[in-house]
Chain A
């Protein structure tokens, strides 16, 4: 299931360069390509469609006004947009003093198991990561930290488990994802044409 990232999105970099020079057609091309992904990230974090719309609009306003600040050596355009979206959305839920809705987040049986994630919508060869490969408790702690900006002590308090348990779940979860990634990389190197 895992693919190693090998291809830089040179087309996107060119589009960003054009947007930096005020090219509206390039801007349209980028939002038609990535607006769903940005909105999805904002919605994932805020759980509020209206707030997610505001955040997505802000992100694309920034893209329109600040495309020149993008540096291709820092990573893909979409990763850059998703990173900005994540930071912006976490700021908003902190400002509103929101926390993940307990009934949704604490019920492990209701954790999202979407059939289609952001990466599945693009041919971008970003590492294809499935959090479903983790035990639910590890996935839950990783998501609460990464998507909701909660510290380990916040998570321990929210889940009513010892701090050490939260630390272990996050460490083991990320280590497991890395192990899967490395294992897949070795398999691909043995049969290079199998999944490329």
Chain B
């Protein structure tokens, strides 16, 4: 892509470049940075988005092309046993409210305490953090926030980890917040990396973080939360990775 322009961390493309790469993007053949540029352009250009839409039935149909193979009886038995193995609590189809507002407030107060300690060591930087915490409390106290409980995957299942992601349904372009309790530190030279997963399988990085008693990570959606289907957290090199390479430790659907 000869005429890519980098603005900060983002590569931008024009209409011609977008259309040149459109088919590659739609089947997932572009590297993440180039895919992000095409994705961003499609969200801002109705002409190119209309061209992309002409491929929607083709992309859907690709999912239906694998040869049909009968599931083994053992798999049928395993799936049939799932409701008994994972009994449902009170049904609440769309919203998982975790933690309670009181618990959330307590968690955030702890976060504020840590922010104040940091303030003592680096006043100018901590002041910004403090404001973020206050903003977070104010934001999350509003009703439109949706809480998504994250599942803990095998590498962390021995730790008492609780994680939830909050985002606004009223304003899906507003920052969301990943809140994790009791997250053990990553291995030496590693960091946790949040991934925002689109329906087509493309992953956008949501940021790097380390473990701690309480982790509060503000996450800016590259476009809109409605563009994403799932979240995942993996263990990656400390400087981050352009795509997930390490073991997944948390996951959840939006």
A-to-B contact residues, CB < 8 Å: 4-5, 17, 20-22, 24, 27-28, 31, 35-41, 43-44, 49, 53, 56-57, 60-62, 64-69, 74-76, 79, 82-84, 86-87, 90-91, 94-95, 112, 114, 116-121, 126-131, 141-142, 145-147, 149-153, 155, 166-167, 170-171, 173-175, 177-178, 181
Contacts and interface: CB of A to CB of B under 8 A. Distances in A.
A54 to B, nearest CB: 9
Contacts of B60: 5, 75-76, 79, 126-127
B188 interface: no
A148 to B, nearest CB: 9
A24 B86 CA distance: 11
B27 A53 contact: no
B72 A22 contact: no
Most buried by A among B70, B86, B197, B201: B201
A44 B67 contact: yes
Contacts of A173: 23
Interface string B125-142: 000000000000000000
Interface stretch (B9-17, B90-98, B179-187): B90-98
Interface string B80-119: 1011001010011111000000000000000000000000
Given A87-B230, A146-B27, A178-B58, A117 B65 contact: yes
Interface in B161-218: 197, 199-201
Dominant secondary structure at the A interface:
helix
A106 to B, nearest CB: 17
B91 A22 contact: yes
B55 A40 contact: no
B37 interface: no
B80 to A, nearest CB: 7
Contact of A119 (B24, B61, B244): B61
Contacts of B80: 28, 31
Nearest to B28: A145
Contacts of A167: 24, 29
B78 interface: yes
Nearest to A114: B67
Contact of A35 (B64, B79, B230): B79
A70 to B, nearest CB: 9
A126 B61 contact: yes
27 contacts: A21-B91, A27-B83, A43-B66, A53-B75, A56-B71, A57-B78, A57-B82, A61-B82, A68-B93, A75-B60, A84-B229, A87-B230, A91-B232, A94-B244, A114-B67, A118-B68, A127-B60, A128-B61, A128-B64, A141-B29, A149-B28, A152-B30, A167-B29, A170-B24, A174-B27, A178-B58, A181-B58
